[in-house]
Structure 1
Amino acid sequence: MKHLFFLLFTFSVLAQSPKEKIQVTDLLKIKTAGKPIVSPKGNQFLYTVTSIVDDPDKKNEFVYQTHLYLGSLQTGESRALTSGKNSISSPAWSPDGTKIAFTRDMGAKSQVYVLDLAGGEPQAMTNLPFAVSNPVWSASGQEIYFQSSFTMKEFLVDSVYNKKGLVPSWTLEKPMLSGVAKKLKANPNGNLDEVRAYLAQNEADKKAKVINRLNFQEESTTTSDISIPAYFKTNLTGKAVLLNNPFSRWSDVEIASNGIYAVIPADSLAHPDKVLDSYIGFGSKVIYQKVGYRMSNLTLSPSEKWLAFQEAKSTGVQNAVLQIISVANPSQIYKVPIDRVITQVKWSSDETKLYFTAQNQGGAPLYVYDVATKLVKQMTDNNTGILGFDLTKAGFVYAKTGIENPSEIYQQSADSVRTFTSLNTGWLASKNIVRPIKHTFTNAKGQKVDYWVMKPTGFEVGKKYPVVLEIHGGPSAMWGTGEASMWHEFQYYAAKGMGVVYANPRGSGGYGSDFLAANVKDWGAGPTADVMKALDLTIAEGWADTTQLAVTGGSYAGYLVSWIVGHTNRFKVACAQRGVYELSTFMGEGNAWRLVPNYFGGYPWEKATKSILDRESPYTYVQNIKTPLLIFHGENDLRTGVIQSEMLYKSLKVLGREVEYVRHPGGTHELTRSGNNRQRIDQMLRTYEFFSRYLKIQ
């Protein structure tokens, strides 16, 4: 009897054991499912899983690893098809469903491999001196199409794929020089042509970087060269054939049975950096073109009679429009009636419906457009995000993110939903997950603004808690329970005893073009009013300690953090990450510089625009910043540029303010989302540690 009582008591204690709080290193446990791809027979599907694992080559480092899995839609079972340290991407079924093509990372140069499901190891189909991507099978299953790219300088001297000596049709914009340099002997003491050959050799040997192009800033470095897309096909013996003149700069290619559809720059004579318009072409034929617009995301219907695509104005701030065009009669074109940022698009097999995902009010639902009725129907809710999907005989299979779980694969039919994977369910079972509560208010422009409130883990009624206001970037990004990028950070701060508030202020995606453009020429005051209203409404709930407020955000949100602390002293501490603080400088320093003319209507040398840029730059108000500020920037971030952070930091130091500046070596603008995992953890911990100097947190 005593033994039975002891067992019952032990079971009761275990059943009531409190769940663990989210830890910073739980970031390393998150696995992410890729887009499912259903087999031609409809009984199986492929998907990828990205994990964070110990770096086999570097102690105390972690790397991303992506592998391929095969799932059965009948049994619900799955198995890994690849393993090892070389990641794979872009899986594609052969037409008969017996083989799978994919690319495998082989150092810096990924190559196409084919796996026969009957058995054996994946076989390399390409062995090229450059990286390749996006394999697509031909209808016969005897060939594979794939994509790569050359730099212009590489292709000009390539003896295999440029035997005809192709040259660009556009000017290279070298002052007083035109055409491609002649191949002459390099001689610093020779004639002018030989001197030029010598200087060209210095460039090739990386002794000089001569820049003549407009868009010379990439994500992490500068370049004087131009990347030109190249499309190939290979038979199963591995011989690759170039299909296009790379100087034509195709993109968004769709392979048809009788040719290739592509998005092509509208002006072949102007330098590519200056050509924003594009058209849809098929060989030498123009399928669709509209002056002042660019095309993207081509999706050919199964019969090849229809082409879905997105059309957007080349300048300004607005959502792209999803359209359907008859390839035989291009005057027959239909606009899909939805004003949202659209991602994946998929035709039904009978072409009566077009399925797609789109941002909407904090989620990324699945939608269906009925071609006959011209109506759009939302298929899933706004509380979750469909990250990739495919159609099955009975419904759908999709990768989904939600507040309960950042990533799993689900199978849905008309009357049921089955969780197919358990990538994260195991470790999450013992974790205390805080569930955000969604609220809405009407701002001064009469627009509905959504915001979410997370109370601290272990919240107790009657106690007061610090609160951190989190702000998203973009400015056209969107947050919500259906957006996965901030899942861990929000849960971590809640676990540290802070309430978390985040909103989608005017200018966010997911609410239509009018809302998206509501911050044009108003990056500062308007969005600030929205996020501060969300904070004030949270404070009105009665549990927030108004003397213990923090604010943080990255990119455009770094901008808004610095704007806020330059206009109010309400916050005890603040953190600005990889932000833009002086808009005229940003015009020259960041590769996202077109945000300046698109949002502010001109350039810094124009008097009217300059006055707006000065008014809207947080740096203009730097002398007003009294709030202790932590500044982050990746040293290789050229999307916004590190000078932005250094101007802000140095000025605050001169002013004698409390400020700390952290640079992450090698870090780019994507550091907190897909960067070095030690640096991701480092940034989160440094933010927490800095906040703890001023806030009463755990």
Structure 2
Amino acid sequence: MRRPTKLLLVSLLALAAASPMAGVAAVREAPQALLTGRDLFGLEVASDPQIRPDGDLIAYVRASNDIMVDRAVRSIWLVDARTGAQTPLVAGQGSAMSPRWSPDGQRLAYVLVTPDAGAQLYVQWVATGRTARLATLAEAPGDLTWSPDGKTIAFTMLTPDDGAKLGSAPEGKPENAKWAPPLTVETRVTFRGDGEGTLKAGFSKIFTVSAEGGAPRQLTFGRFDDRGPLSFTKDGRYLLFSANRAEGWERNPAEAEIWRLNLADGALKVLTSRVGPDANPVVSPDGRQVAYVGYDDARRRGYENTRLYVMDIDGGGARVLTGDLDRSIDNPVWSADGRGVYVSYDENGSVRVARVDLSGKIETVVTGLTGAGLDRPYSGGAFSVARDGTVAFTQGSTSRPSDIAVARKGGEARRLSALNADLLGSKTLGKVEPLPVKSSFDGKDIGAWIVTPPNFNPAKKYPLILEIHGGPFSAYGPSFSTDNQLYAAAGYIVVYANPRGSTSYGEAFANEIDRNYPSHDYDDLMSAVDAAIAKGFVDSNRLYVTGGSGGGALTAWIVGKTNRFAAAATQKPVINWSSQVLTTDAYSFMAAYWFGKMPWEDPQGYWARSPLSLVGNVKTPTLVVVGDQDLRTPVAESEQYYQALQLRGVPTALVKVPGASHGGLAVRPSQSAAKASAILAWFEKFQSPPK
């Protein structure tokens, strides 16, 4: 065989150097009015707001980027719910997370992870500032939960396991000999995780530790994962948690039951038994009922609405409360009077908090929650509730990342922090507005938004970027996005949409791509582009398309269907569903729920939905971007598409983001900025003069 030509591998730095955003540093005569890649280092975002039971003080996690290490560092801050006055509680070396108030509101438990000391569990007496380290742990604990009397803290933590062994190296290794490392043997169904690599051998277990310090006590055992959130019963004798402890549990990724753990003797009782996941148990204030979430999974569809349920404390009398709400709910929190449950749910790309009474009546309490992401405008958000019904939550906008806000019962929501006021207050950002779209396929309304560049002039003609979300069962919304703002700052119109398959528009809308993805989501996206062109300020000869994960798959699908785009950038895509399902870390779920058959049982079905099947049609210059540690849509997916495009002679380049996982493609600010710059540089190569 002839030796193949050397692959073209374009580094982020080299490609970014060609970007219109890059250039030789020079002394500025005036402030930079547009958002730049370097500005990403200055962004901060709030998450995990925890309101004190009396409603007067909120603890939250603030993520700030450290330019010297190119990573986010997390600290815990307190904000006065009435005045907005801010106080740092835990800041400095390491990352602090998971603040949780004691029932009396006098103490705050939290986790601090430092390079030298590892994971440590602390409690601080907030009034005095006195701090006690309760435990130094082998792994970072999760699901911190106080007992009702404030004497105990429960948490989950990975416990080690020896792992599989098979044979051994020869005996008699000579002293100072340098033999190869021992063989690794794997028998677990799930042995890798995106962002984690090969998973540590072990299982998630439940522990308790005295709130006055001491040795943590392990309470659950066995080769199962026992997961939170955790909830104590009112008398403090039991803990409720979620787990799949059935035989063969690893092969059934969407199954779980609610369990009750006796703290005295470790005895376990299962409280639910239906087919489907039951999770997030929360005991009512009177101790007589349990709220939890779940769904019936008999159909094994790609998407099911997660619903709110209530059952008696012994597991009897289970009933659904949100059966008439065609949305997925999350994060149940009992009201102090025990007459209702606060939940969050996503409505048309925007998260809200609602109160559900025990008859199923739903009352919206807060709207406009936003999440902790920065690069793309995914919906999200977090909240907590005080005894008097005051809600603390994360609130942002299309021009600001998430801050902390509060809404008192019967009052208007009020933002308490302004983390990015100094940085973004002096910037001219792209304006984000809803874009009315009707699908050309069946006339359905499609949620969409359009971003116009800073200093926008409707009399001009602008190039357009279609930016597509991943998931595919997820949603974009009216949230801040560094990618979209950097594109807009470079002079592009940006359109993003929630095509069929997106969540927050109902179960039927999401399941239009069940066993049928990609399909008419393509028509929805093209309709969004057409709606933007119809406004009169888009140059139809300068259309570009990009997206990540599921959006990367749709980008590759689009250029196989149409030549209307001048260039494309497919990010961390799925290209060949057979190889994807057999190499991803989520293979057991994808095969069972997205196809229903194994690749060898339906090879044509897998191929028909693979963008690789359309590569023979592609003429669009297409950049391929992937993290070199991606385990969700593995690197080989991107490499085979790049090589297929090379074999066809289609202009292409392969960008690998060093050290980046699937979920971490834009975690480091320098890489997030360089990735956007590389995409812009690629699009710039294929610009035609505006007409």
TM-score, scaled relative to structure 1: 0.85
1:461 to 458, 461, 475: 458
1:377–1:42: structure 2 CA closer, same or farther, 3 Å change rule?
closer
Bigger Cα displacement from structure 2, 40-49 vs 508-517:
40-49
Q: Does residue 649 of structure 1 match 2:635?
A: no
Q: Is the 8 A contact 1:45 1:73 kept in 2?
A: yes
Paired letter, 1:208: L
Query: Are residues 206 and 223 of structure 1, via their aligned partners in 2, closer, same or farther at CA, if it must alter by over 3 Å?
Result: farther
**Partner deviation per Cα, 1:559-611 (whole Å, 9 max, x = no partner):** 110111011111101000011000011111111322243222211111xx321
Report the alpha carbon displacement of residue 239 of structure 1 after superposing the two structures with TM.
1.5
Please report how far the alpha carbon of residue 117 of structure 1 lies from its aligned counterpart in structure 2 after TM superposition.
2.1
Partner Cα separation in structure 2 for residue 150 and residue 251 of structure 1: 13
2:597 corresponds to: 602
2:192 and 2:670 map into 1 onto residues whose CA distance is 26
Q: Which residue of structure 2 lines up, in the alignment, with residue 255 of structure 1? A: 232
Compute the displacement of 1:322 (Å): 1.8
Displacement of 1:136 after TM fit?
2.1
Query: Which amino acid in structure 1 is aligned with residue 294 of structure 2?
Result: E
Q: How far, CA to CA, are the matches of 1:455 and 1:343 in structure 2?
A: 33
Query: Against the structure 1 CA distance between its residues 467 and 74, is the aligned structure 2 distance closer, same or farther, given a 3 Å change threshold?
Result: closer
The change in CA–CA distance for 1:221 and 1:399 in structure 2 (over 3 A counts) is closer
Once the 2 structures are TM-superposed, how far is the Cα of residue 333 of structure 1 from its aligned partner?
A: 2.0
Of residues 625-634 and 298-307 in structure 1, the stretch that sits farther from structure 2 once superposed is: 298-307
What is the aligned partner in structure 2 of residue 245 from structure 1? Answer: 221
Matches within 5 A, 1:179-198: 188=170
1:403 equivalenced with 2:404 (yes/no): no
Q: Is 1:325 equivalent to 2:338 in the alignment?
A: no
Aligned pair 1:367/2:354, yes or no? yes
Do the aligned residues in 2 keep the contact of 1:280 with 1:287 (CA within 8 Å)? yes
Give ranges in structure 2 of 5+ residues lacking alignment.
Answer: 1-29, 174-178, 262-267, 371-378
Q: Of residues 688, 691, 694 in structure 1, which corresponds to 2:680?
A: 688
SS of equivalent residue, structure 1 residue 122: strand
**94 and 358 in structure 1: CA distance in 2 versus 1, 3 angstrom threshold:** same
Alignment partner of 1:277 is 2:255: yes
Deviation at 1:408, TM superposition (A): 1.3
1:564 corresponds in structure 2 to 558
Aligned partner letter, 1:469:
L
Q: Which amino acid aligns with 1:211?
A: E
1:140-289 map, 5 Å: 140-153=149-162, 188=170, 207-220=182-195, 223=198, 226-235=201-210, 236-252=212-228, 253-256=230-233, 257-267=236-246, 269-270=247-248, 272-274=250-252, 276-283=254-261, 284-289=268-273
C-alpha distance in 2 between matches for 1:404 and 1:245:
48
Give 1:451's aligned amino acid: A
Q: Partner of 2:8 in structure 1?
A: none
Per-residue CA deviation, residues 261-295 of structure 1 (Å, 9 max, x unaligned), is 1212151x3353446422212133221110x3111
Counterpart residue identity of residue 317, structure 2 = S
> Cα–Cα, structure 1 residues 41 and 335, in superposed 2: closer, same or farther, change >3 Å?
closer
The question of whether the paired residues in 1 share the 8 Å contact of 2:119 and 2:137 is answered with no
1:472 to 461, 469, 474: 469
Partner of 1:166: none
Structure 1 counterpart of 2:33: 20
Query: How far apart are 1:511 and its partner, in Å?
Result: 0.9
Corresponding residue of 1:165: none
| Residue 523 in structure 1 maps to residue 498 in structure 2 | no
Distance 1:303 1:646, change over 3 A: same
Quick one: structure 1 residues 655 and 603, their matched pair in 2 at CA, closer, same or farther if it must change by over 3 Å?
Answer: same
Rounded Cα–Cα distance in structure 2 between residues aligned with 1:311 and 1:680: 35
Normalising by structure 2, report the TM-score: 0.86
Kindly provide the amino acid, as one letter, of the partner of residue 79 in structure 1: T
Report the alpha carbon displacement of residue 464 of structure 1 after superposing the two structures with TM. 0.6
Match of residue 611 from structure 1: 604
Equivalent position to 1:489, from 470, 478, 483: 483
1:40 to 42, 53, 62: 53
What is the CA–CA distance in structure 1 between the aligned matches of 2:583 and 2:502, rounded to whole Å? 24
Counterpart of 1:25 in 2: which secondary structure?
A: helix
Matching residue's letter, 2:345: A
Residues 95 and 622 (structure 1), Cα distance of their counterparts in 2 relative to 1, 3 Å cut = same
Task: Report whether the alignment pairs 1:304 with 2:280.
Answer: no
The answer to whether 1:334 aligns with 2:328 is no
- What is the CA–CA distance in structure 1 between the aligned matches of 2:579 and 2:493, rounded to whole Å? 35
The answer to whether the Cα contact below 8 Å between 2:546 and 2:568 also exists between their aligned partners in 1 is: yes
- Paired letter, 1:660: A
Q: Find out whether 1:346 has 2:333 as its counterpart.
A: yes
Tell me how far apart the structure 2 counterparts of residues 116 and 643 of structure 1 sit (CA, whole Å): 51
Higher relative contact order (CA 8 A, sep 6+): 2
Contact 2:657 2:665 in 1 (8 A): no
Query: Structure 1 residue 672: deviation in Å?
Result: 3.6
Q: Which residue does 2:344 correspond to in 1?
A: 357
CA distance in structure 2 between the partners assigned to 1:27 and 1:407 by the alignment: 15
Question: SS state of the match for residue 277, structure 1?
Answer: coil
Amino acid at match of 2:654: Y
Q: 1:594-631 CA deviation, whole Å, 9 max, x = no partner?
A: 2243222211111xx32121111110111211111111
SS at match of 1:110: strand
Contact 2:514 2:594 in 1 (8 A): yes
Amino acid paired to 1:439: L
Instruction: Give 3-state SS (helix, strand or coil) of 1:379's partner.
Output: strand
| Structure 1 residue 232, shift from structure 2 partner | 1.3
Please give the secondary structure, in 2, of the residue aligned with 1:613.
helix
Q: Give yes or no for contact 2:47–2:402 (8 Å, CA) kept in 1.
A: no
Q: Deviations over 1:458-507 (max 9, x none)?
A: 111321110000100001110010x45xx111111111110011110010
Deviation per CA, 1:629-662, whole angstroms, max 9, x where unpaired? 1111111100110110110011111222100001
5+ residue gaps, structure 1, are 1-16, 56-60, 155-171, 173-179, 191-197, 199-203
- How many residues align structurally? 630
Contact 2:124/2:132 (8 A) holds in 1:
yes
What code does the residue aligned with 1:474 have? G
**SS of equivalent to 2:431:** coil
Q: 1:187 to 1:541 in 2, by over 3 A?
A: closer
Q: Which residue of 2 aligns with 1:13?
A: none
Report the equivalent of 1:316: 301
Shift, 1:189, TM fit: 5.6
| CA distance in structure 1 between the aligned counterparts of 2:40 and 2:407, rounded to whole angstroms | 28
Secondary structure of residue in 2 paired with 1:670: coil
Separation of aligned partners in 2, 1:237 and 1:222: 33
Match of 2:500 among 493, 497, 506: 506
> How much identity, in percent, do the aligned residues show?
26
Amino acid across the alignment from 1:137: W
Partner of 1:577: 571
CA RMSD of aligned residues (A): 2.7
Instruction: Write the letter of the residue equivalent to 2:208.
Output: K
Which letter does structure 2 place at the counterpart of 1:264? Answer: A
- Cα distance in 1 for partners of 2:635, 2:522 equals 24
Contact kept in structure 2, 1:102 and 1:134, CA below 8 Å: no
Give the whole-Å Cα distance in 2 for the aligned partners of 1:280 and 1:48: 29
